[in-house]
């Protein structure tokens, strides 16, 4: 089964704050023209922090530094976590070759100067195909229905990537889900490769084993079959997709033979890679991480949550100054911050209900609103007539870039209405911000159920069949989490989760454990070839 997928199965969303056009400090011009490890992987004990601190990560056999190639999918919700991980790895002295298209690399946040000599950006021109605008190189550049064309163009990078890997000769390759053809290329070059998952272990576990993703099974014949906990999940859980979320992607699950679906790409990548690295930690998802090793029958290593760093902490733009002046005037913990990332765009009906609910709540708010997706979006959305005038005394709507980390760090923020993209989810607890959840794309549904199950976030109630909701439910949900006594559990949980997401030592443990595994399972190579040709 090679089902077509017009709608991506999972979100490619990330905060608009992360994708402002900036020139990286270091670039490297790249040519555009049998390993398998089944080892027992040490995982930290999730019961207490003290036990984890005493538990040693996988040790490194040698002192030589690694050279790791990275090839993320063409979405900033993927490129940014890959880049965050590249920065953490480079801080340990290892070298990174980061490949993407020219425009995407130019739009990545700039590197800290001390890492510029260790992270090399390699520009691979994206093949031009019909239906993609000439300057479109990332999923944010086109409407959601056109994202699948990017996968066709992405598949055209097989030969350039093969030539690049042969030239670079890295110790390891970290690849994304979409490049399902890359593990076999890496294996032919004797380069071990890892699937680097930017989605949660729960999301991967819900997807199931590679055989199901590639070929389906008898238990999944209609949409309702995908809205229940799968049979391969052997522990109690409320994590599942809701029917309206399944219906959004059902054509992509069943599909036809015209295009390769996200399900098939995931399955083939998981089947053929040498190991799986997951953006997760045992403190949050111990049961799901253990399930993945059973499903994949290969090492699965959590690398930590990778909270986004503030790239330009000292940069005081005029836009931020005016935002900060407004936030400074608000009471502590009173403001609702709303942002749905760079990919998710509400329908006009959804936008109307969210806006009216925000107005009914009576709470002050700062809303970063994306009205369209790319220059070819024929259906931009607009706020209800008179909304901004009626709320101007207590609310601000921004339709341009906004520094999300700075906003979340401000004392006036009392809650975060989010699309549950995982990069946003892991940022908020660092600043003790409780979460109000409203999902758009399907992996966000899994994220929301996981957060609900652990009382980390509260979802705006929606109907199972069509996902509809009311402005009253929006208002009630916002007030519950931000100000009412009943929602204190979510505010308290935000403080508790700071000890997970904000504990740099704990997150560093996961990184060291993963790098130790890579070092101990690097391929044998010519000692004279251990670097990057910078000419």
Task: Enumerate the β-bridge partners of residue 100.
Answer: 123
**501, 387 in Cβ contact below 8 A?**
no
Buried b / exposed e over 384-413, threshold 16 CB at 10 Å, is eeebeeebeeebbbbeebbbbbbbbbbebb
**413, 335 in Cβ contact below 8 A?**
yes
Taking the C-alpha atoms of residue 428 and residue 435, their distance in angstroms, rounded to an integer, is 8
Pick 25-307+504-520's CATH classification: 3.40.50.2000, 1.10.10.60, 3.50.30.50, 3.40.50.450. 3.40.50.2000
- The confidence score (pLDDT) of residue 156 equals 97
- The confidence score (pLDDT) of residue 63 equals 56
- The confidence score (pLDDT) of residue 373 equals 82
Where are the domains positioned within the chain? 25-307+504-520, 318-500
- The confidence score (pLDDT) of residue 309 equals 73
DSSP string for residues in 283-316: TT-HHHHHHHHHHHSS-EEE----PPP-TTTT--
Strands 395-398 and 413-418: unpaired
DSSP for residue 176: -
Walk along the chain (535 residues) in steps of 10 and give the mean pLDDT of each run.
43 40 35 30 44 55 83 96 96 98 96 96 96 92 88 96 98 98 98 98 97 92 93 96 89 68 94 98 97 98 87 66 95 98 91 98 97 83 96 94 93 98 92 96 92 96 97 99 97 92 90 97 62 41
**123, 101 in Cβ contact below 8 A?**
yes
Nearest by Cα to 9 from 261, 213, 223: 261
DSSP string for residues in 54-66: HSPPPPPS-SSPP
CATH superfamily of this structure's domain 318-500: Glycogen Phosphorylase B; (3.40.50.2000)
Domains 25-307+504-520 and 318-500 in one fold: yes
Strands 395-398 and 300-302: unpaired
Strands 435-437 and 457-459: parallel
The sheet carrying 275-278 orders its strands as 27-28, 119-123, 95-100, 67-71, 172-175, 193-197, 275-278, 300-302
Taking the C-alpha atoms of residue 369 and residue 397, their distance in angstroms, rounded to an integer, is 7
- The confidence score (pLDDT) of residue 228 equals 95
The shares of helix, strand and coil residues in the chain, as percent rounded to the nearest 5, are 40, 10, 45
- The confidence score (pLDDT) of residue 35 equals 26
């Amino acid at each position: 089964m090679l089902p077509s997928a017009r709608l991506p199965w999972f979100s490619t969303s990330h905060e608009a704050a992360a994708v402002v056009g900036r020139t990286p400090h270091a670039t490297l011009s790249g040519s555009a023209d049998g390993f398998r490890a089944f080892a027992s992987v040490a995982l930290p004990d999730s019961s207490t922090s003290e036990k984890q601190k005493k538990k040693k990560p996988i040790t490194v056999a040698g002192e030589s530094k690694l050279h790791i190639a990275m090839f993320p999918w063409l979405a900033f919700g993927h490129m940014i976590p890959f880049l965050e991980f590249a920065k953490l790895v480079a801080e340990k002295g290892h070298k990174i070759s980061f490949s993407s298209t020219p425009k995407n690399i130019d739009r990545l946040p700039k590197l800290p100067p001390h890492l510029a000599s260790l992270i090399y950006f390699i520009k691979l021109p994206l093949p031009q195909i019909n239906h993609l605008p000439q300057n479109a190189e990332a999923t944010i550049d086109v409407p959601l229905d056109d994202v699948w064309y990017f996968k066709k163009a992405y598949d055209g990078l097989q030969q350039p990537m093969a030539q690049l890997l042969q030239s670079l000769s890295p110790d390891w390759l970290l690849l994304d889900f979409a490049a399902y053809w890359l593990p076999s290329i890496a294996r032919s070059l004797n380069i071990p490769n890892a699937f680097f998952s930017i989605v949660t272990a729960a999301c991967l576990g819900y997807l199931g084993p590679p055989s199901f993703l590639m070929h389906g099974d008898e238990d999944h014949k209609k949409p309702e079959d995908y809205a229940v906990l799968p049979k391969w999940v052997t522990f109690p859980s409320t994590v599942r997709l809701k029917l309206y979320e399944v219906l959004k992607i059902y054509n992509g699950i069943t599909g036809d033979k015209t295009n390769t679906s996200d399900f098939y790409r995931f399955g083939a990548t998981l089947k053929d890679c040498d190991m799986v690295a997951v953006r997760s930690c045992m403190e949050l998802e111990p049961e799901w991480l253990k399930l993945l090793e059973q499903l994949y029958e290969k090492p699965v290593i959590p690398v930590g949550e990778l909270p986004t760093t503030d790239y330009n902490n000292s940069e005081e733009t005029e836009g931020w100054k005016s935002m900060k002046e407004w936030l400074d005037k608000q009471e502590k913990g009173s403001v609702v911050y709303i942002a749905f990332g760079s990919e998710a765009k509400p329908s006009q009906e959804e936008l109307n209900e969210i806006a009216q609910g925000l107005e009914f709540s009576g709470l002050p708010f700062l809303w970063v609103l994306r009205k369209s997706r790319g220059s070819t979006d024929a259906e931009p959305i607009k706020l209800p007539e008179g909304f901004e005038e009626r709320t101007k005394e207590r609310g601000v709507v921004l339709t341009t870039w906004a520094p999300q980390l700075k906003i979340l760090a401000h004392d006036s923020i009392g809650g975060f209405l989010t699309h549950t993209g995982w990069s946003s989810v892991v940022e908020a607890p660092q600043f003790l911000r409780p979460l109000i959840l409203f999902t758009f794309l399907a992996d966000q549904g899994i994220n929301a159920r996981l957060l609900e199950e652990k009382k980390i976030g509260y979802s705006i109630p929606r109907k199972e069949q069509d996902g509809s909701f009311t402005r009253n439910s929006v208002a009630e949900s916002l007030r519950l989490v931000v100000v009412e006594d009943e929602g204190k559990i979510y505010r308290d949980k935000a403080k508790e989760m700071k000890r997970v997401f904000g504990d740099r030592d704990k997150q560093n443990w996961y990184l060291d454990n993963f790098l130790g595994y890579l070092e101990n399972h690097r391929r044998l190579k010519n000692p004279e070839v251990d670097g990057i040709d910078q000419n």
